[in-house]
Structure 1
């Protein structure tokens, strides 16, 4: 599905970059997503979040002077993702 019409960027392209370890800001810089009209930003961020959830990154967490590895928290789906699917179905 095309997420960014202005730059013709698909959800697959965004997902591929996120799986390579890029953040939203890095994807935005590399692909130009949400840099023109901005209407795709919510959906693009949702794609990044969904890919990040399916491939969580470990982070170092310090608790009372000890270090433990903690997986990233899940990201709740936003309304922008659901509304974009509804508008495509209409």
Structure 2
């Protein structure tokens, strides 16, 4: 499914970017999400939140 029609960015591309550690700002730069009409910004952010919630905790995260 497309998240951004203007730049033809799919939900899988957004998920892959999340898994590579990209932030929303980095995705705007690398994929062009929300850089034309901006309508997809809210949907992209929600997809990012949902996907991050499904990922296992980072084993290298700092404690404390």
What's the TM-score once normalised by structure 1's chain length?
0.62
Q: Report how far residue 59 of structure 1 moved.
A: 4.9
Q: What runs of 5+ residues in structure 1 fail to find an aligned partner?
A: 61-66, 69-90
How many equivalent residue pairs? Answer: 62
1:1-90 matches, within 5 Å, as 1-55=1-55, 56-57=57-58, 59-60=61-62, 68=64
Bigger Rg, structure 1 or 2: 1
Following superposition, which runs of at least 4 residues in structure 1 exceed 3 angstroms of deviation?
A: 56-60
Q: What runs of 5+ residues in structure 2 fail to find an aligned partner?
A: none
